[in-house]
Amino acid sequence: MSSALYWEDVREGMDLPSLVKRPNTQQLVKWAGASGDYYQIHYDTAFAQSTGLSGVIIHGALKNAFLGQMITDWIGEHGTLKRLSCQYRGMDVPDDTITSKGKVTRKYREGDQHLVDCEIWVENGRGETTTPGAATVALPSRSQPSP
């Protein structure tokens, strides 16, 4: 377990720790079962090809989950994820390395909350951004005692 992340530790422009994944078709089938998204383009190669794709593609919501994992890993158990959004702009394929990345874009206070806005995204193995997004987190502050 890592040490707690405090608002005072964050600076605008800093990079978030990346999260690297290499999802395979087995993980896509498991995700389909867990999420209820059984669209065949995510697990049936022949079907995916019949729609014009070169093969199966990773669920967009799975990439969103990877972004959420990256953020929550970074903020730890004392941080709170307030907002997470992303857009599916490119397709990712199984067995490619995909990396969730992020950067702090704004650090501010709103009432008694210490907030941080982040630009987040997923890159494929060629370094292309396929899933841009944004997140806002609330972090504990050393200047305020924990409740």
pLDDT at 13 over 70: yes
Asked if 133 and 85 touch (Cβ cutoff 8 Å), the reply is yes
Q: Using the predicted structure, report yes or no on whether residue 105 has a pLDDT greater than 70.
A: yes
Percentage with pLDDT > 90 across the chain: 94
Q: Using 50, 70 and 90 to split pLDDT, how confident is the model at 1?
A: very low
What pLDDT sits at residue 15?
98
| 144: confidence class by pLDDT, cuts 50, 70, 90 | confident
Structure tokens at 131: 């899933």
Write down all domains in the chain, each with its CATH number in brackets. 7-138 (3.10.129.10)
Backbone φ, ψ for residue 140 (5° rounding):
-70, 155
Tens digits of residue pLDDT in 59-102: 999 999 999 999 999 999 999 999 999 999 999 999 999 999 99
Neighbours of 43 (CB within 10 A): 19
Tokens of 93: 């394929």
Start-end of H helices in the chain: 25-35, 45-50, 60-75
pLDDT of residue 28: 96
How many whole angstroms separate alpha carbon 102 and alpha carbon 81?
Answer: 14
pLDDT for 53 beyond 50 = yes
User: What is the reported pLDDT for 7?
Assistant: 97
Residue 60 zone, left/alpha/beta (φ > 0; ψ -120 to 50; rest): alpha
* Residue 136 three-state SS: strand
Q: How far is it, in rounded angstroms, from Cα 80 to Cα 136?
A: 9
- Report d(CA 88, CA 55) in Å as an integer: 17
Whole-model pTM: value is 0.94
| Between 52 and 143, the higher pLDDT residue | 52
Using the structure block, give the residue that is written with the tokens 């709103």: 110
Whether the CB-CB separation of 76 and 146 falls below 8 Å is answered with no
The predicted model gives 37-44 an average pLDDT of 95
pLDDT for 24 equals 96
